[in-house]
Amino acid sequence: METEILKIDRKGRSKIKDFVTDEAPLTIDLDGSELVTLLCSPFDIKELSIGFLYSSGIIKSVEDIEKIVIDKNNSTAYVKLKKKFAAGDMLFKRMYSSGCGRGIIFYNMLDKIPRKKLKKGFDVPAEKIMSLMKLFEKKSTLFKKTGGVHSAGFSSGKEITVFKEDIGRHNALDKIIGEALIKELDFENMIMLTSGRLSSEIMFKIRRTGVCIIVSRGAPTDQAVKLAREWNLTLAGFVRGGRMNVYSAEDRII
């Protein structure tokens, strides 16, 4: 949205037009019951809804969904599953995340996270990761315009295959997960890129996909590093300015 602001700098004060990022609530209605309301950037709603259901452990693939209808007027995604989801008391078991955009995880879904270590998978040159991050940053047009969103993407190792932006780093991840599911991409052969901080709840979303390499411009928390080492997931942070810090499974980066 474009709005008038007062800009104050060394040159003095001036009234200018500037852009601020849009923010809106999105309610996900699952089989006729309200599951959750997310604060998000109001685009790529279908991808966000599917990605959220997947990363929360509610669906295993888009094949579990019988129908999804996006009602933009009421800011609601109506989702009907082929097999009715037995929610039980899950609606009362929410863990509010540490991030912007008020991310939510249903913590009784965490026991569905795979516990096995990830396989070795593939190797990627450090120089390639840095070049991918430069390309990733160039695609962040909404951030350049507003400074108020996070970005997330998937790469095949050669190009950015999926790219999304949102006010919440959790939402941005769910959006790329949702699009990857729709496109039937193979998570295990993808590198995940993100602009945001890597905390434990972000790691739970990542582990659900089976991705073995995650790189970020931001920093990880101690719990994120512990989980990455436990899962044999390659976690690289501070990927910018021709450098990076690799915190776990560094043998994948050559």
Q: What is the rounded distance in angstroms from the CA atom of residue 47 to the CA atom of residue 51?
A: 6
- In angstroms, the first-to-last Cα distance of the chain is 43
Six-digit token pair at 28?
Answer: 């996900």
Q: In 10 A of CB 10, how many CB atoms? A: 4
**Secondary structure (3-state) at 193:** strand
- The Cα 178–Cα 97 span in angstroms is 20
Catalytic-role residue among 26, 100, 105, 235: 100
- Asked if 54 and 45 touch (Cβ cutoff 8 Å), the reply is no
40 an active-site residue?
no
- Compute and round to an integer the Cα radius of gyration of the chain: 19
Distance CA 179, CA 85 (A): 22
194, 169 Cβ separation under 8 angstroms:
yes
Please list, in sequence order, all residues whose beta carbon lies within 8 angstroms of the beta carbon of residue 241, skipping any fewer than 6 positions away. none
* Whole-angstrom distance, CA of residue 254 vs CA of residue 249: 11
DSSP state of 61: S
What is the C-alpha to C-alpha distance for residues 127 and 88, in angstroms, rounded to an integer? 48
Q: Which of 17, 54, 4, 31 is nearest to 170 (CA)?
A: 54
**Residue positions annotated with a catalytic role:** 100
